[in-house]
Amino acid sequence: MSHASSTPGHAHITPIWQGIPTPKFAVWLFLASEIMFFTGLIVAYISLRYSLPDWPVAAELLSVPLVAFNTFILICSSVTMVLAYDSAERGDLRRSSYLLLATAILGAIFLSIQAIEWADLMGEGVRAASSMFGGTFYTLTGFHGTHVAIGVIWVTAVALKAFRGGYDENHLGIELAGLYWHFVDVVWIILFTIIYLI
Amino acid sequence: METRAHPKRPYLSIFISLAALTGIEVIVAGLAFEPALRVFVLLGLAAFKAALVALFYMHLRYDHRLLAVIGGFPLLLVLVMLIILMVDRVVQS
């Protein structure tokens, strides 16, 4: 394999991400693409909402207190995640493992409450195919919920590895899972405001 | 157990701020005042909360500047686009 940076006659090429671990740089690029993905969905929701006269009033149809509580659960999971990373940074892998597990459990609670909300709405006749509101609501919250589910699996795997001492030498894996988890939290902060409050 | 020296960061203060701001958002959403102003306030609060998570929990405040550009620039575009879209719709309605 040839290396252009070491070939005589060629200038030394320094990657722009020098100083950043490559997996971390890759995760940030992935998150940037995710921002664009969710932006498309959110803009479609807003455009349809203000184009259609019979859009339901969120406070009348949706359970804002329940979802506000669920938002609090996700915020709690973000703080347990960042404390897990902080504990790993300090060398306390045992505490980090338990905090990772707590993060995954809080994520699972979030998904359970979202499932209850969906069941209630479907019971009231709000389905993906029944109205434009239903279609966009389930698409947005469904894609976000899928991301949370992937995050729960990822964080659980990281927690199990941490319990086995897998991050004793290098805890980059905890940081990467944390970046994804916090991103999912950021997306929900925006979705909660746009779908439930405005 | 060996523990390493590490800068103390305001993770719990940020958590309390996020929880309090969520409560304030729910209260503001229930208040009856100018819809356009309410939209601005709610979007502003959401943007502030998102920024807190990105800066402190995702460490953009402390990390390599390039990561802030990668993560922050699309977010900035999103916020600008959302605000323009919302203002346009509210003005039309």
Lowest mean pLDDT, pick from A32-41, A133-142, A182-191: A32-41
CA distance A58 to A137: 11
Is the predicted pLDDT of residue A2 greater than 90, yes or no? no
Contact at CB, A79 and B58, closer than 8 angstroms: no
Mean pLDDT of A63-92: 96
**pLDDT, tens digit, for every residue of A169-185?**
889 999 999 999 999 99
Is the predicted pLDDT of residue A78 greater than 70, yes or no? yes
CA distance B13 to B20: 11
CA distance B29 to B53: 22
Alpha-carbon distances of A156 from A152, B9, B18, rounded to whole Å: 6, 25, 24
Chain B CA closest to residue A73: B19
Question: How many pairs of residues across A and B have Cβ atoms under 8 Å apart?
Answer: 129
Burial B14-34 (b: 16+ CB within 10 A, else e): bbebbbebbeebbeebeeeee
CA distance A28 to B25: 29
Residues in chain A: 198
Distance from the Cα of A28 to chain B's closest Cα (Å) equals 7
Chain A CA closest to residue B78: A39
What is the reported pTM? 0.89
Residue with the bigger pLDDT between A51 and A12: it is A51
Structure tokens at A28: 């940030």
Chain B CA closest to residue A94: B1
Q: Is the interface score ipTM higher than 0.90?
A: no
CB-based contact, B27 to chain A, within 8 Å: no
**pLDDT, tens digit, for every residue of B4-43?**
666 778 999 999 999 999 999 999 998 888 888 998 899 9
Residues in chain B: 93
3-state secondary structure of B62: coil
Distance from the Cα of B7 to chain A's closest Cα (Å) equals 9
Mean pLDDT (chain B, rounded): 85
Query: What's the confidence (pLDDT) of residue B79?
Result: 73
How confident is residue A43, by pLDDT bands cut at 50, 70 and 90?
confident
Please give the single-letter amino acid code of residue A129: A
CA distance A109 to A86: 23
Please report, to the nearest 10 degrees, the dihedral formed by the alpha carbons of residues A178, A181, A183, A189 taken in order. Answer: -130
The answer to whether A158 touches A3, Cβ cutoff 8 Å, is no
Chain A residues 41-70 with a CB less than 8 Å from chain B: 42-43, 46-47, 50, 59, 64-65, 68
HSE, side-chain direction, 13 A CA sphere, residue A120: 12
How confident is residue A57, by pLDDT bands cut at 50, 70 and 90?
confident
In sign, the C-alpha dihedral spanning A119, A113, B56, A83 is negative
**Which residues have a Cβ under 8 Å from the Cβ of B51 and sit 6 or more positions away?**
none
